[in-house]
Structure 1
Amino acid sequence: MSVDTSALSQPLYDPAVDGTYVPPLDIVLACAREELARYATANIHDHHEVLVAAVSTHDRLRQLVAALDKEAGR
């Protein structure tokens, strides 16, 4: 017996829902450094802690790329 889990799935990023505001590069870069420091000691054996770190870092990386693109005029 299989269970339909498609309704439980949710993407990390949805352009239709997520905002389009891009903070200045210097702010995003400072936040990215804080993010790296915050999760540098995450326990890789703690599933929840690793999941939180991964999602948070994914969001920060997306912001960093958007800020770099904006500064480069892309």
Structure 2
Amino acid sequence: MEQRVEKSIDHVLESASSLLYFFNIGLGIMLVILGIFLFLSGKRIKGKTAKTNTGLICAVIGIVAIISGAIQI
């Protein structure tokens, strides 16, 4: 009984893992777009270094997420 439950849980998790990789890539693309938007809007206004830095951080995290998702597929 316990082995049957364990096998069914393993099967569900294995089938969901591939979807999570694609979700990771999609989330990375959204972060890169948000980062570029924040970076460019922060550059237009003088003295908004926090917005520019936030944009750069979002873009870098997005690129890392895209690379991670692509490698795991």
- TM-score normalized by the length of structure 2: 0.44
More helix by share: 2
Rg (Cα) greater in structure: 2
- TM-score normalized by the length of structure 1: 0.43
